[in-house]
Amino acid sequence: MPRKRKPARLFQRKDDGAWVILDGGQQIRTGFGDGFHEAAEEVLSNYIASKKRQDNRVRDPSEITVGEILVHYGEAKVKVVRDRDRLLYTIQALSPYWSDLKVSQIDIDRCRGYTAWRRCAAWTVRREMNTLNAAVKYALASRRISHAPIVTLPEKGVANDRWLTEEEIQRLLEASASHVQRFIKIALYTGRRKTAITRLKWMPSLDSGWVDLDSAVIHFLGKAEAETKKRKGMVKMPGTLHTEMKTWAQEGSHVVSFNGAPIDRIDKAFRAAVQRAGLKDVTPHTLKHTAVTWAFMHGMTLEDATAYFATSRETLENVYRSYSPDALKNAAGIMDWKI
């Protein structure tokens, strides 16, 4: 996150003993010198009050920097977002390029320039630019700016079509530590994202998903949690997963744990397993892609997949439905001309 400037404060000059207000790079004289500290304090108080009135007014985008609205957005959202570290990392990534620019300077050329300057995966740049767009919209909604420029996002790019075969899954399981094996199996049987899985607990929870072995249901949302765009929902466990989970030792509070302790991230251990298995282009998200792809290959309907995977119908149609043996079967039959 851009470094916050220090608040306005009093400082007594050594050369003439005058009390001045330090604000950023400015020195504003109070008109009082040695022996008049209280009077200088009153001047400072009036200065801060006046400045606050100015800060609270709706400003033209040319009067406020992108860095200021990123700080404003970060301070508001860091208290409520689940992945606080990701938000802070994203703002830090945006800051070197954007912070010193005025909001009014956001345009299509600078947005494209950021993509070239960033030099990383297109989906990463798109996620970061989405955060910039959210910060601009939040500044408008909270009346920090009078109107908002358009933030041009990079193209989504081609969806990653990497999914694993059964043979590759067996190699990966054999190369994995026990806690990674648990993660892999839950991902393959439920098609959920990594954080939803690593946060699973054995007992009902307000802030995390939990497993109900008695009714064979996995709740991926805590009882007090609100659903987000990246929906979690719940699933009825497939019989094989349910049977195996009943044999798992319940060490500690979390289903996926290491030496009884919950894990913050699975990425490092998963990456090591992928290397040992001799696989390429495989990430934890590849398991979700594999689960949904296999489901359509085995004939799951679009309606069932939408509910089971808590994934939008649009995504399933665009990315996965072509793997179904029944995809467009009726249409192909109609088009089977006899010529």
Residue 267 sits in a domain whose CATH number is 1.10.443.10
Work out the mean pLDDT of the chain and round it to a whole number. 85
Q: Is the domain of 192 the same as that of 288?
A: yes
pLDDT band, residue 53 (cuts 50/70/90): low
Closest CA to 271 of 196, 177, 190: 177
> pLDDT (tens digit, 9 = 90+) per residue, 178-219?
999 999 999 999 999 888 899 999 999 888 899 999 999 999
Burial class (CB within 10 angstroms; exposed 0-12, middle 13-18, buried 19+) of 139: buried
Q: Which residues pair with 145 in a beta bridge?
A: 59
Distances (CA, A) of 83 to 62, 77, 87, 227, 255: 32, 10, 7, 14, 20
Judge whether residue 309 has pLDDT over 60. Answer: yes
**Maximum pairwise Cα distance, the chain:** 105
Judge whether residue 2 has pLDDT over 60. Answer: no
| Residue 331 within a domain | no
Distances (CA, A) of 285 to 189, 196, 257: 13, 12, 19
| Residue 259 within a domain | yes
| Residue 109 within a domain | yes
Q: Is the domain of 16 the same as that of 69?
A: no
Q: Is the domain of 318 the same as that of 236?
A: yes
pLDDT band, residue 93 (cuts 50/70/90): very high
| Residue 338 within a domain | no
Closest CA to 184 of 281, 284, 261, 255: 284
| pLDDT at residue 13, as a whole number | 87
| Residue 89 within a domain | yes
**Residue-wise burial string across 70-88, b where 16 or more C-beta atoms lie within 10 A, e elsewhere:** bbbbbeebeeeeeeeeebe
CA 238 – CA 216 distance, rounded (Å): 8
| Residue 4 within a domain | no
Q: Is the domain of 224 the same as that of 258?
A: yes
Q: Which residues pair with 217 in a beta bridge?
A: 212, 236
> pLDDT (tens digit, 9 = 90+) per residue, 115-150?
999 887 777 888 899 999 999 999 999 888 999 999
Structure tokens that stand for 23 in this block: 């604000």
CA 45 – CA 179 distance, rounded (Å): 57
Q: Is the domain of 30 the same as that of 50?
A: yes
| Residue 339 within a domain | no
Domain range enclosing 312: 166-323
| pLDDT at residue 313, as a whole number | 80
Three-state SS letters, the chain = CCCCCCCCEEEECCCCCCEEEEECCEEEECCCCCCCHHHHHHHHHHHHHHHHHHHCCCECHHHCEHHHHHHHHHHHHCCCCCCHHHHHHHHHHHHHHHCCCEHHHCCHHHHHHHHHHHCCCHHHHHHHHHHHHHHHHHHHHCCCECCCCCCCCCCCCCCCCCCCCHHHHHHHHHCCCHHHHHHHHHHHHHCCCHHHHHCCECCCCCCCCEEECCCCEEECCCCCCCCCCCCCCEEECCHHHHHHHCCCCCCCCECCEECCEECCCCHHHHHHHHHHCCCCCCCHHHHHHHHHHHHHHCCCCHHHHHHHCCCCHHHHHHHHHHHCCCCCHHHHHHCCCCC
Q: Is the domain of 204 the same as that of 186?
A: yes
| pLDDT at residue 327, as a whole number | 62
Q: What percent of the chain has pLDDT over 70?
A: 86
CA 70 – CA 73 distance, rounded (Å): 5
Q: Is the domain of 200 the same as that of 101?
A: no
CA 53 – CA 141 distance, rounded (Å): 18
Judge whether residue 277 has pLDDT over 80. Answer: yes
| Residue 235 within a domain | yes
Q: What is the CATH number of the domain that holds 71?
A: 1.10.150
Q: Is the domain of 217 the same as that of 300?
A: yes
| pLDDT at residue 248, as a whole number | 93
pLDDT band, residue 331 (cuts 50/70/90): low
Closest CA to 73 of 116, 128, 7, 9: 128
Q: Is the domain of 207 the same as that of 307?
A: yes
What Rg do the C-alpha atoms of the chain give, in angstroms?
Answer: 27
| pLDDT at residue 205, as a whole number | 87
Q: Is the domain of 121 the same as that of 246?
A: no
| pLDDT at residue 5, as a whole number | 62
| pLDDT at residue 263, as a whole number | 87
Q: Is the domain of 314 the same as that of 192?
A: yes
Structural domains counted in the chain: 3
Judge whether residue 4 has pLDDT over 70. Answer: no
Q: Is the domain of 110 the same as that of 87?
A: yes
Looking at residue 301, its amino acid is T
Where a domain ends, among 56, 72, 89? 56
